[in-house]
């Protein structure tokens, strides 16, 4: 999966990947412009089409690349022995932040690929992901259930709702952090983590027995 770009200068490689990811994250396949990609990556048109035979192949290889990163990040780097749900969510948030340092729009891109139906010639992108061995539903189940000790919750009758509230809150927190970014482009990770931990403490005190 990585060998798409072998030999290329890593800086230039990431510039191309990021420019492409950003373009496909911002616009649906048809409106995404290869001209914009090369402009933002600072390379010539010819170079892009030297490495990718056409737009469609670029798009699919990009998905392959993202899968590989996701798989490594989410599946392999989570501590699956952790039984505390909030701690697990914290791990995911931290992984997300770290990946975003190198590939800022990777998660946006992934979400977009799942939202838009029929990007390019691909009818079902979830199936494409599965073809790469990545099953979103399965991963999602694992994240929220594998080895998790739900007896920690104070009210056993509203566990499902409590989990959602915790999940939603931390997701929104992350989104608002990203909005604060915008202008200068760089996020203060230390401060973001501190804020995250603060909210996590409150959520624990609120929902745990």
Q: Does 8 bind DNA (CB under 7 A)?
A: yes
Asked if residue 188 binds DNA (CB under 7 A), the reply is no
Task: Give the ranges where the chain is alpha helix by DSSP (H).
Answer: 10-26, 34-41, 45-51, 55-70, 77, 85-102, 106-115, 125-131, 136-145, 159-181, 189-207
- HSE at residue 56, side-chain half, CA atoms within 13 A, is 6
- Residue closer to its own copies by CB (options 21, 166) is 166
Does the footprint of DNA cover residue 56 (CB under 7 A)?
yes
Q: Please report whether residue 31 would count as binding its own copies according to CB under 8 A.
A: yes
**Residues contacting residue 192 through CB under 8 Å, at least 6 positions apart:** 97, 177
Candidates 54, 115, 145, 151: give the one binding DNA (CB under 7 A). 54
Which is closer to its own copies, CB of 61 or CB of 93? 93
Q: Does 44 bind DNA (CB under 7 A)?
A: yes
Six-digit token string for 60:
């699919």
Bridge partner list, 119 = 122
Residue 43 vs 95, nearer CB to DNA: 43
Note the residues at the interface with its own copies (CB under 8 A).
Answer: 27, 31, 158, 161-162, 164-165, 168-169, 171-173, 198-199, 202-203, 206-207
């Amino acid at each position: 999966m990585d060998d798409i770009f072998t030999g290329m200068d890593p800086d230039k490689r990431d510039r191309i990947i990021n420019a492409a990811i950003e373009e496909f994250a911002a616009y649906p396949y048809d409106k995404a412009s290869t001209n914009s990609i090369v402009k933002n990556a600072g390379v010539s048109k010819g170079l892009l089409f030297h490495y990718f035979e056409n737009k469609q192949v670029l798009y699919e290889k990009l998905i392959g690349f993202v899968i590989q990163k996701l798989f490594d990040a989410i599946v392999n780097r989570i501590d699956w022995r952790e039984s505390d749900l909030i701690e697990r969510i914290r791990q995911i948030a931290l992984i997300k932040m770290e990946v975003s340092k190198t590939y800022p729009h990777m998660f946006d891109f992934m979400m977009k690929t799942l939202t838009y139906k029929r990007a390019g010639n691909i009818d079902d992108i979830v199936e494409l992901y599965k073809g790469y061995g990545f099953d979103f539903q399965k991963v999602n189940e694992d994240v929220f259930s594998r080895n998790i000790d739900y007896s920690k919750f104070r009210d056993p009758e509203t566990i499902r709702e409590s989990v959602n509230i915790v999940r939603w809150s931390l997701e929104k927190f992350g989104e608002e952090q990203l909005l604060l970014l915008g202008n200068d482009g760089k996020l203060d990770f230390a401060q973001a983590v501190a804020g995250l931990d603060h909210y996590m403490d409150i959520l624990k005190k609120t929902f745990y027995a």
